[in-house]
Structure 1
Amino acid sequence: MNLEDGSARRRRGAVLEAALLEAAWQELCDVGYGALTIDAVAQRAQTSRPVIYRRWATKAELVRAAVEHALRREEAEVPDTGSLRGDLVATMRLANGRTVTSAAMLTYYLGSYFQETGTSPTVLRTVILGDGPTAIDVILDRAVERGEIPRGRLTPRLRSLAFDLYRHEALMTLAPVPDAVIEEILDEVFLPLVTTGGEA
């Protein structure tokens, strides 16, 4: 059976490309980068190797495109609950419910990809999403405008601290981060450091 003449021919353009990228992402999540093969992706997508190779010349190119597809699919509006703590809790809960929960999970799936390409999760994220404001930047800047965080208190390290701790927990457990742990990260570490009651 020539799959290229069947289902692949009926799917064209953006529809076909999305199906290929989704198949590559699902294969990556199931077996990781090292064990992923173009044949397996083609079988999952019900198409053929040439259909994939016409779009991406190497496995690394396909996987990078699949990660970009997954990350952009999971982009969501930044929660605005009216408080810094509420925004952070809501954002971390949203991350728990997504397929792509954090850069830590990408590290788990893509370990050999980073070795092969000489990149890192930070480099990959910057290449895919750019270096513009992140969700945490939006949340923290709103908190400064509301007066919850003193102007000038936030350093780059403090800006990333809450989600650095969240990603570490996700990597160590490979599971959604429980609400109790989210609250510990915020109430015992992050908020005391950045709000008016803490010491920078």
Structure 2
Amino acid sequence: MITTSKKKAKRQNSDVDLPSDRGKDSSRKEGLEILKDDKREATKKRSKEQRKEYYEREMEKRVIRTNPLGRDRFYNRYWWFRRDGRIFFESSDSKEWGYYSSKEELDALMGSLNIKGERERELKKHLEKFFSRICAELQKRSKDMAHKIALEEAVLRRSTRVRAPPRQNPAKSFLRYVNKWKED
């Protein structure tokens, strides 16, 4: 008999909900809802960022006009023409132009910018935003230039034993023209 009464007592105890258990369940549910809301907000934020990046990539493909990256403390304007692969800077009076053609020069420029100033802070922000693409273009340009120089050197090393007569260049055929209708 003792065993049956113990079983009945266990059943009765398991059927009774304690108030502390209810509080834990409700707080767990609230915690789960908060986590779900956080996940929703994070996915919304990611999708918004992805849409913005996609929009920027598509606009970059269709760019007709380029805006400057920013200005420095001397009001020099910095430009990045996406197809050229260099950072150009224009003096404040628009009379002089220069360019940065290597990653080391770009790193030195970014290190010299003072972020306490408004213009240089914006310039540095834009440079950091496009840094990976700019570096890729700089490296691509340097490889292309090295390849071009190697090809030019290979063309210059011709054997002197094989000499072909100079060909007539059709582009300069106008130089051989003789006026036959000329009256004396």
Please give the TM-score of this superposition, normalised by the length of structure 2: 0.24
Using CA pairs under 8 Å that are at least 6 residues apart, name the structure with larger relative contact order, 1 or 2.
1
More helix by share: 1
Structure that is richer in strand per residue? 2
